[in-house]
Structure formats: C-alpha cells, structure tokens
Amino acid sequence: MNYLEFEKPLAEIEGKAEELRAMARANKQMDVEKEAAALDAKAATMLRDLYKNLSPWQKCLVARHPDRPHCKDYIDALFTEYTPLAGDRNFADDHAVMGGLARFNDKPVMVIGHEKGNDTKTRIERNFGMARPEGYRKAVRLMDMAHRFGLPVVTLVDTPGAYPGKGAEERGQSEAIARSTQKCLEIGVPLVSIVIGEGGSGGAVAFATANRIAMLEHSVYSVISPEGCASILWKDAEKMREAAEALRLTAQDLQKLGVIDRIVTEPLGGAQRDRKQSIAAVGKVIETMLAELSGMKPDALIKDRRKKFIDMGSKGLAA
Amino acid sequence: MNWITNYVRPTINSLFSRREVPENLWTKCPECGTMLFHRELKDNQNVCTSCDHHMAITPRERFAALFDGGIFTEVKVPKPVADPLHFRDQKKYPDRLKAAQKATGEHEAMLVAEGEIGRTPVVCAAQDFAFMGGSMSMYVGNAIIAAAEVALAKKRPLVLFSAAGGARMQEGILGLMQMPRTTVAVEMLREAKLPYIVVLTHPTTGGVTASYAMLGDVQIAEPNALIGFAGARVIEQTIREKLPEGFQRAEYLLDHGMLDRVTHRKEMRDELVTVLRMLMQLPPAVRGDLPAPAPEPVPEKKPEPPAAKPEATEKKAAPK
C-alpha cells in the first residue's frame, strides 16, 4: 500500500497494527488482537477525518495515486470481449491510449481511454498516460468507426496532459487534439465520459467532449496542473496548494460550475482503498448515462452535445 | 514680468512642445535593431522595413489595413458572467482584467468585425496578444461563436487571426471549455459550407492551437510566428535535449506539413481575397483596372459600399 504525504500519520498507525499482528503470527502465545483492534479503530476514524475535507491539492494527490484503478482495470472488469484496436494508420500505435470494441452489459460499444500503467515498466510503456498525436488520431479513427456502426462510445479520462515532446509537436500534437474534440462533436452515437483520475487540460478535452460527463469523487479536471499554474501566476511552483485552490478543479466545483453531470462516490479513503467497489460504481454510472441517451436519434445526440458546450459556463459558480 | 509671461506663456509653450515631441516616435526593431520611424512602421503594418520582422499589430490596426477603405462594422459579442471562479492569484482577476483594458483600450482579447475585403464580404476575428496574452476566455469563446453566427446568417466566410498563449487560467475549467465551445462554432461553419480561414500570428500556442486555430480549411501563418502546443522550455525539460533552430516557427511547421502557407503580412490581404473568392465561387477580383490611387493615401471616408451587386461593378472593370 502506498501512502500519500498527508496520510503519513495514518500510515504509522496502520503500520503498527500490522506489526503487532505479524508478531502474534510469529509467537502463538501473544494475544494482540485487542490492541490491534484499538489501533484499527483509531485508523478508521483518522481516515474518515482525513477524507472528509480533502483540500483541492490533496485531491490532486489522490487523483494521481499510483494504486488507483486505471483505465485497463476498468475495461478488464466492466467490459467483456474487449478487443483492442491499434494504430492511427499513419505513424504508430500510441500505448498511452487504449481502445477497441467491447461489450458493456452484452451490448457492443467502443471504449477508449488513457492508460497510465501501474509499475515502472508499464508506466514507461504507457508514457505515464501522456498521449502523442497518434493516440488522438487512433481515438478519432475509433470514434469514426463507432459512428458508422452505431456503437455508443465510452471514454475514460486519466492523463496528466498531452505529451510535450519534440516529435509530438512535429507531428501536430495540437492539430490531433483539435481533430479529436471535433470528432467528439460530430458522431451520431451516444458519447459518455468518466474522469477516473486526472483530467489534464487539452489532452482530456479531446476525449471528454461528451453528451454526459461524470467524475470520480476525488478526481480532478483542470486547464493546467496546479504546479504549472503556480509557476506562471505565482512565479513559484511551490505555490501549488494555492493554485489548486484557485483553479476550482475538484469534481464538486466542476459540478457547481455545470461542467460535469455526475459525481461517482468513492470508497472511504479513495478509489485505491477498495478498487472493486470503485469499479462497480463506475460501471453503474456508465449504465445510467448510456440509458439516458438510449433511443435518441443521431441528430439529436449531436445537437445535445453541441448545446451542452455552447451553454456551458454561462452562469459561473451560481450555476 | 507679469502673469502672462510667468504663467500663460510657459503653459502654452509646454503644450506645444509636448505635441511636437511625442514619445515612441521611433521603434527599435527587436530583430535587427534598426530604428524605425513610427509613421513608416505603421504604413508597413508593423513589419520592419529593413528585415521584414513581423511585430505585433492590434486587431483594430489590422482591420484598418485589411478592410476596403479601412471600413468595418464591429460585431457585438455577448458578455459572459464576470470572474466566474472568483479567481485570485497574487492579484485579483478583475484587477488584471481592468489593467489589460486600460493598457489596450479594448474590452477583451478578441475583436470581431464584418465588412468587405477586395469587395468580398467577410467576417473577421482577431485576437489581441497584448490583452492578457490573448488568452482564451469565455468572452473569446463568445466572440468566435458570434463571428460564426454572423457568418452563417449572412453566408459569409470567416477569417480568424489567432494570437494567444492558451486558455485563460483565471477562468480555470471554463477557460478550458472554450476548446469544445469554439470547435462547435467551427462545426457550424463547416456544415454551412462556409470557408473558415485561420491566419496564425505570433505567438499561437496551447489550447488555442489545440482547438479553433488548427481547424481552418486553409491554414496560413505569418513569417516566423511561434506556433505549438507545449512551450519550448517544458519540452526541453521533458526530453532533456536542445530543440533545433526554428523549432515551432511557421516555416518549420510548413515543412512538417502542418500549414498550407506562410505569407508576408503585406501580401496577406491579396492572398485572402484570392483564396476566399475561389472558395466562395466568385469571379476573380480584378486589381489591374482599379482607379489609380489618390495622391493622398488617406482612405476616403465614404460609407460602406452597399453589399448589393458587387459583382456587377467588377464586371464593368474586367479587361476584355
């Protein structure tokens, strides 16, 4: 179990309880259950208190938690017959973006998402979830296919942002993102999106221009990372706490602003503490959002999506 | 000695002398260092007469040079909710806005106008980098949507001059949401089969390039304009190597297939007229037989020519 900076006191108590139990296992005469249970109770209270009022910056840390379920975990658990489709037919296959045909509740859909990887090897392979132009162009290809065959599209957003690299720029990173957003607006099939971790700027918009958008309780979605914003506006990257506060990047604020439709409740202590429960909750919300859109004609779906974004933000925080 | 010599005369003198020696009479070209006389620079649309370096030009000056006779009508842009996030960094966002308004004399970072270029009716939008880095705010989004709506209503093409660092951080997620919003505007033009031409000017980066600024039917850039998604410093820190000479410059993008053309500012107007008239299925513009320019380069202050029958007048002027 990986602990975050602000979870250190919790780590200590849980560590102690674990230590006691390990000792008891080694020495059968020792009876530690009472003490360990007391520690467990203390840890549970602390966890509840910690997660009751997470600051925006703490939410960023939870959203980036390495043990959080990632795109691949959701696809493996929620979809059947997942058949990955690779490549942009131009240059390469981007492993930061996964996608393909799958069945959701037995109905065929197209699922696309950013994958960050969960150990050093897969993280490097997935480029930490930072897509290159090929990733967005693959997504455009898959969305187009979904449109032609009438398959709903489900996107899972989890990226620090699009990859800032030399080749990515040369091959048109910005054009690729713009085309992906454009394709989102053009397809005559239901498009639902869930921000499962980090919604990093344009790299997230490219997938999240959807009819219905949900966010996990402790996920974030922002125009810029708090660190980036702090270094530009405060001229000090260490001011990320203030920046996170000012940017209003939490799921709760985004719902108030009318940018997202739904918040998916996470288990106490974040999605990483009970991955199964988180995955099931996401499955439920995908089901609900797709049901809301079922029966709508292609034109109506396109219109609905456009109107959603044209009207967005018209009321500010008062929405 | 009386109050006239002591007070009145110095006051009058100072008034006149102030007028005779205004500040900024000369501008130093940041590229080649040549001192340029302000009037000469203005006549050359802020392009250095010695090295062709393209300096910034305000949307208003650009429109004055672009539209026939310098005449255009501003398109009204609906005002969005002010300071939606109650954003505050080291300064309050409304204070930053006010400072930008005072410095530029403009209300926001984008100006939209309609009029004629070479007798071709168009809608134009131009972003103002001097206004908070041209950043894409809800107002900018509204401006682009308003521009597209006028273009649609009057069946005119849209020409957009971009210049921005990206989305406006002070509007947070709502700044970011202008990416899909403006893309909806582009979609409206696309469906109405109206040309949408983007002229990328220095600098155009971030979320602006990742939305409306890269979705033009024709993509033109001004020479040496910086165009890219990520900042060069961020890229160098990420990949830990030096970037090549000319990286993210207009010519570099042209070489990499990301642009249609790189065009000098002085030739932009003619090029836009040529391209737009072809895309709009209009007869070619006839430049040769236009009446000789008046001795004074000052444009006539006549009202906007009636939009009716522009072709008829041109046919009369067409060569045999």
Query: For chain A, what are the domain ranges?
Result: 5-53, 61-318
On chain B, the residues whose CB falls within 8 A of the CB of A175 are: 209-210, 214, 258
Task: Provide the residue type at B59 as one letter.
Answer: P
Tell whether A136 is within 8 A of chain B (Cβ): no
Element (H, E) at A301: helix A298-311
User: Coil, strand, or helix at residue A168?
Assistant: helix
The 10s digit of each residue's pLDDT in A107-166 is: 999 999 999 999 999 999 999 999 999 999 999 999 999 999 999 999 999 999 999 999
Do A173 and B210 make contact, defined as CB atoms within 8 angstroms? yes
Per-residue three-class SS string for chain B: CCHHHHHHHHHHHHHHHHHHCCCCCEEECCCCCCEEEHHHHHHCCCECCCCCCECCCCHHHHHHHHCHHHCEEECCCCCCCCCCCCCECCCEHHHHHHHHHHHHCCCCCEEEEEEEECCEEEEEEEECCCCHHHCECHHHHHHHHHHHHHHHHHCCCEEEEEEECCECHHHHHHHHCHHHHHHHHHHHHHHCCCCEEEEEEEEEEHHHCCCHHHCCCEEEECCCCEEECCCHHHHHHHHCCCCCCCCCEHHHHHHCCCCCEECCHHHHHHHHHHHHHHHCCCCCCCCCCCCCCCCCCCCCCCCCCCCCCHHHHHHHHCCC
Tell whether A278 is within 8 A of chain B (Cβ): no
What is residue B10's predicted lDDT score, i.e. its pLDDT? 66
What count of other Cβ atoms lies within 10 Å of the Cβ of residue B272?
Answer: 24
The 10s digit of each residue's pLDDT in A254-305 is: 999 999 999 999 999 999 999 999 999 999 999 999 999 999 999 999 999 9
Tell whether B249 is within 8 A of chain A (Cβ): no
Q: Which band of pLDDT confidence, cut at 50, 70 and 90, is reported for residue B300? A: low
Beta bridge partners of A193: A155, A213
Tell whether A242 is within 8 A of chain B (Cβ): yes
Tell whether A181 is within 8 A of chain B (Cβ): yes
| Confidence check: pLDDT of A31 > 90 | no
Tell whether A251 is within 8 A of chain B (Cβ): no
On chain B, the residues whose CB falls within 8 A of the CB of A248 are: 85, 172-173
What is residue B312's predicted lDDT score, i.e. its pLDDT? 43
Over residues B22-43, the mean pLDDT reads: 87
Over residues B293-311, the mean pLDDT reads: 53
Nearest-neighbour CA in chain A from B82: distance (Å)? 8
Q: Best of A90, A205, A314 to disrupt the B interface by mutation (most B CBs within 10 Å)?
A: A205
The 10s digit of each residue's pLDDT in B101-119 is: 999 999 999 999 999 999 9
Query: Cα separations (Å) of A179 from A240, B11, B192?
Result: 31, 63, 18
What is residue B297's predicted lDDT score, i.e. its pLDDT? 54
| Confidence check: pLDDT of B22 > 60 | no
Q: Best of B219, B229, B254 to disrupt the A interface by mutation (most A CBs within 10 Å)?
A: B229
What is residue B291's predicted lDDT score, i.e. its pLDDT? 58
What is residue A98's predicted lDDT score, i.e. its pLDDT? 97
Q: What percent of chain A has pLDDT over 70?
A: 99
Q: Which band of pLDDT confidence, cut at 50, 70 and 90, is reported for residue A2? A: confident
- Nearest CA to A304 among A318, A314, A315, A294? A294
Do A234 and B214 make contact, defined as CB atoms within 8 angstroms? no
What is residue B66's predicted lDDT score, i.e. its pLDDT? 95
Over residues A79-99, the mean pLDDT reads: 95
Q: Which band of pLDDT confidence, cut at 50, 70 and 90, is reported for residue A40? A: confident
The 10s digit of each residue's pLDDT in A159-202 is: 999 999 999 999 999 999 999 999 999 999 999 999 999 999 99
What is residue B306's predicted lDDT score, i.e. its pLDDT? 52
Over residues A46-67, the mean pLDDT reads: 93
DSSP A93: -
Q: Best of B79, B160, B183 to disrupt the A interface by mutation (most A CBs within 10 Å)?
A: B183
Search chain B and give the residue with CA nearest A247. B172
Q: What is the pTM of this model?
A: 0.88
Over residues B29-53, the mean pLDDT reads: 92
Q: Which band of pLDDT confidence, cut at 50, 70 and 90, is reported for residue A316? A: confident
> Which has the higher per-residue pLDDT, B167 or A314?
B167
Report the mean per-residue pLDDT for chain B: 88
- Nearest CA to A219 among A191, A194, A182, A240? A194
Over residues A203-229, the mean pLDDT reads: 96
What is residue B287's predicted lDDT score, i.e. its pLDDT? 72
CATH of span A61-318: 3.90.226.10
Report the mean per-residue pLDDT for chain A: 93
Q: What percent of chain B has pLDDT over 90?
A: 74
Give the A:B interface size as CB pairs under 8 Å.
175
Over residues B22-39, the mean pLDDT reads: 86
Q: Does a cis peptide bond (omega within 30 degrees of 0) precede residue B203?
A: yes
**In this predicted complex, what is the ipTM?**
0.92
Tell whether B175 is within 8 A of chain A (Cβ): yes
Q: What percent of chain A has pLDDT over 90?
A: 81
